[in-house]
Amino acid sequence: MGENEGKERVKDLAQGSLGYKKRRGALFSLGVLALGVMAAEMGGCAGPGDGRKDFDVPEFVLTYAENQPEDYPTTQGAYRFAQLVYERTNGRVEIQVSAGGVLGEEQSTIEQMQFGGIDFARVSLSSLSDFIPKMNVLQMPYLYTDADHMWQVLEGEIGDVFLDSLDGVGLVALSWYDAGARNFYSVKNPVETLEDMKGMRVRVQESELMKAVVEALGASAVPMAYDEVYSALETGRIDAAENNWPSYESMRHFEVAPYYTVDEHTRVPEMQLVSEATWKKLPQEYHEIIRQCARESAVYERQLWQERIHQSEERVRKEGCQVVELSQEEKGRFREAMLSIYGEYCGEYMDIIEEILEAGR
């Protein structure tokens, strides 16, 4: 995910989901009150598990962990998911979304889900790969030619294999979420060819993989905290950095690094998950409903993400930034420089790497 994103609200597309969030607490409180009244009047002879189809108090009140802000596309996707599940189970399943990392960061969230402490979550494959190394395959640099290629892979047989690869870790995969693509941006000169990267000092996250990527391109990797990047670009401590459109725009890095090269070196998809412990306690009749709602919320989240990207790109273009679109031929040269990294991080899965690359040709 991009860092420190989501500070400008996605108002129009997210209005319905935000409305659901505001109503949800009141709905549950009223439901509990109604249950008390019914129990008093009927002597406790009816309950959530008695099979009555007209019973409107939730049988299950479940948690959903999201580490992004309220207005972020993944958070709004979570609210849409919760809303759809509530409606299609006639109020029997209520999912309470906690945004902003209230339930913990992604690593902690995954661990809690494995023991049933949290019911649902949206997590990056960057975090999930620590538990399932095979997930590294889907976040390798320059793996996808474009967004369509990635979704062709994720929504096809390869994606299904990865969705089913969580067996034995206490998690069940529901759907894929989008997280955009990261690109390089520079201070003095645009990056138009592989040779332009040589000797460039590029800020990277505290990530061994990203350090390896930058160095394989001939540049020097400079690990640095995100809040230091603006001043480092401005003072010349670094020559370039990398991130997605919304981060580049919202942190105003375009003011000091006006050359943005669309190379899309990483696309890291994300997953909606449910705890296996939760999944087992839910009646079978709810399983397909929840899966369908997760898939529909994923389409909604992808729309929000694309809208956010377009807004950010439009703004920085209006500010006079120079945008470089790498040709497929040149992007292929960047990808070729990654072959050693593919082998180092995904050596036993090179057959899958080859299959993904072939799908984009």
CB atoms within 10 A of CB 43: 8
**Does the residue 263 lie in any domain?**
yes
CATH at residue 294? 3.40.190.170
Does 189 fall in a domain? yes
Q: Do both 59 and 126 map to the same domain? A: yes
261 in a domain, yes or no?
yes
Q: Which domain holds residue 238?
A: 181-267+312-359
What residues are paired with 182 via a beta bridge?
A: 266
**Residue 18's pLDDT band (boundaries 50, 70, 90)?**
very low
- Lowest mean pLDDT of 29-38, 69-78, 152-161, 272-281, name the range: 29-38
Q: What is the pLDDT of residue 4?
A: 43
Residue percentage of the chain with pLDDT more than 70: 84
Cα–Cα distances (Å) from 309 to 16, 152, 344, in that order, read 21, 20, 32
Is residue 19 scored above 50 in pLDDT? no
146 located within any domain: no
Q: How many CB atoms lie within 10 A of CB 67?
A: 24
Q: What value does the mean pLDDT take over residues 39-44? A: 36
Looking at the structure, tell me whether residues 260 and 185 fall in a common domain. yes
Same domain, residue pair 48 and 173? yes
Q: Using one digit for the tens of pLDDT, what is the confidence trace for 75-99?
A: 999 999 999 999 999 999 999 999 9
Say if residue 227's pLDDT is above 80.
Answer: yes
Q: Domain total for the chain? A: 2
Q: Tell me the pLDDT band of 222, cut-offs 50, 70 and 90.
A: very high
SS3 271: strand
More confident call, 243 vs 28: 243
Which pLDDT score, from 0 to 100, does residue 254 have? 97
- Pick from 38-42, 168-172, 190-194, 236-240: least confident: 38-42
Q: What is the mean pLDDT of residues 348-356?
A: 92
Position 56 scores a pLDDT of 64
Name the more confident of 57 and 319: 319
Q: Which pLDDT band holds residue 151 (cuts at 50, 70, 90)?
A: very high
The pLDDT value recorded for residue 122 is 95
Residues across the chain: 361
